[in-house]
Structures are given as structure tokens and as C-alpha cells.
């Protein structure tokens, strides 16, 4: 079983829609959670960083963590064409700098 599962299927949505992305993980030792946005042929850009169950909002982005279910989500409200990118979840353990990544979700927002 992989440490982090992220359904890599591409996602196309119309502009203004809500985008919902999620990852599941297998190791309950994971303690902090990040979402990165990666444009084509560029490095990942940090969007959200959280370490507790519940919701964290930043503008149009909401990160949700459910540690009991080992499930994390990212929601993008009022999606814009500029949100078209690949979104990667990344999970880590305190004191261990290795991040475990999902495969990424390619999102296309259609004007």
C-alpha cells in the first residue's frame, strides 16, 4: 500500500466552479499536511500548510484534514483559469524532513 494515494485523474471544471481534491494516507504517524500547486515544467509552489484536524482557509483555498479517517482535502472556490495546474498533496512527520507526495491532480479551469 502506498503511503499517499491521490487519484491522478485530470479534472476539468468551468470557471467559477468549486474544485475538490483529496488524498488518503496509510501511516497514522503523519502529522502535518501540505498542498502544493505546480504549473507545467515548474517547481511546486506551497499553497497550504496545516497540522491539525479541521479546516484552514486562505482566500479561495480551504484545506481540510480528518486524521481519524486519514483523509485530506483541498477546495478551491470561484475557480479561475489561472488555477489550471497540477495540485500535489504532501505529508510529513515531525522531526523527519522527508515529505511523501501524492501523484498529483491536473486541474483545468475552462473560461
Partner 1 sequence: DAGVTQSPTHLIKTRGQQVTLRCSPKSGHDTVSWYQQALGQGPQFIFQYYEEEERQRGNFPDRFSGHQFPNYSSELNVNALLLGDSALYLCASRSGEDEAFFGQGTRLTVV
Residues that bind partner 1 (CB under 8 A): 4, 6, 8, 32, 34, 36, 41-46, 49, 88, 90, 94-104
CA angle in degrees (0–180, nearest 5) for 83-85-87: 100
- The residue among 30 and 36 lying less far from partner 1, judged by its C-beta, is 36
Which residues fall within 8 angstroms of residue 55, CB to CB, at 6 or more apart? 62, 63, 64
Nearest approach in angstroms of CB 34 to partner 1 is 7
- The residue among 85 and 102 lying less far from partner 1, judged by its C-beta, is 102
Nearest approach in angstroms of CB 74 to partner 1 is 14
| Calpha distance 62→20 (Å, rounded) | 10
Nearest approach in angstroms of CB 99 to partner 1 is 6
| Calpha distance 82→62 (Å, rounded) | 17
- The residue among 17 and 93 lying less far from partner 1, judged by its C-beta, is 93
**CA R_g for the chain:** 13
Amino acid at each position: 500500500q502506498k503511503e499517499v494515494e491521490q487519484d491522478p485523474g485530470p479534472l476539468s471544471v468551468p470557471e467559477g466552479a468549486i474544485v475538490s481534491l483529496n488524498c488518503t494516507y496509510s501511516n497514522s504517524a503523519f502529522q502535518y499536511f501540505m498542498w502544493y500547486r505546480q504549473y507545467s515544467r515548474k517547481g511546486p509552489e506551497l499553497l497550504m500548510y496545516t497540522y491539525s484536524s479541521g479546516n484552514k482557509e486562505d482566500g479561495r483555498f480551504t484545506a481540510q484534514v480528518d486524521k481519524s479517517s486519514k483523509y485530506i482535502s483541498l477546495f478551491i472556490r470561484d475557480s479561475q483559469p489561472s488555477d489550471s495546474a497540477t495540485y500535489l498533496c504532501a505529508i510529513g512527520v515531525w522531526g523527519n524532513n522527508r515529505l511523501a507526495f501524492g501523484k498529483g491532480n491536473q486541474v483545468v479551469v475552462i473560461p
